[in-house]
């Protein structure tokens, strides 16, 4: 861990991290929460604004966009949303395994 990752988080970062990890779906908890958890300590104020804006979209739409099931529409497109999608897709299944496992619960 770097020094930034060991430093205590301010109130806003704690709130963003909590929201990212407590979405409406387990799939989004993994994709958004994992992305934020890995980067929260180093995020700028602008990036915090951007991630908060992303988290305002409904979970079902976010899941479709982040897994690549549907393209990100122009009204929602942002560099932050694309970064999260790239990170999710880089894990190989884009979160599809989480969906498949959820059906068997």
Predicted confidence (pLDDT) at residue 99 exceeds the cutoff of 60: no
State the pTM of this model: 0.78
Q: How far apart are CA 42 and CA 70, in angstroms?
A: 30
pLDDT in tens, 22-75: 998 999 999 999 999 999 999 999 999 999 999 999 999 999 999 999 999 999
Residue 13 predicted with pLDDT over 70 = yes
How much is the pLDDT for 5?
A: 54
Q: Which fold has domain 3-103?
A: DNA polymerase; domain 1 (1.10.150)
> Could you tell me the CA-to-CA distances from 61 to 4, 8, 72, 82 in Å, in that order?
32, 32, 9, 14
Can you give the pLDDT at residue 97? 45
- Domain ranges (residues) in the chain: 3-103
């Amino acid at each position: 861990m770097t020094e930034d990752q060991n430093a205590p988080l301010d109130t806003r970062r704690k709130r963003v991290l909590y929201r990212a990890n407590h979405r409406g779906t387990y799939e989004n908890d993994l994709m958004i929460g994992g992305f934020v958890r890995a980067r929260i300590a180093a995020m700028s104020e602008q990036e915090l604004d951007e991630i908060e804006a992303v988290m305002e979209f409904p979970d079902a739409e976010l899941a479709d966009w982040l897994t690549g099931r549907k393209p990100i529409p122009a009204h929602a497109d942002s560099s932050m949303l694309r970064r999260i999608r790239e990170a999710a897709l880089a894990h190989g299944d884009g979160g599809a395994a989480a969906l498949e496992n959820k059906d068997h619960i």
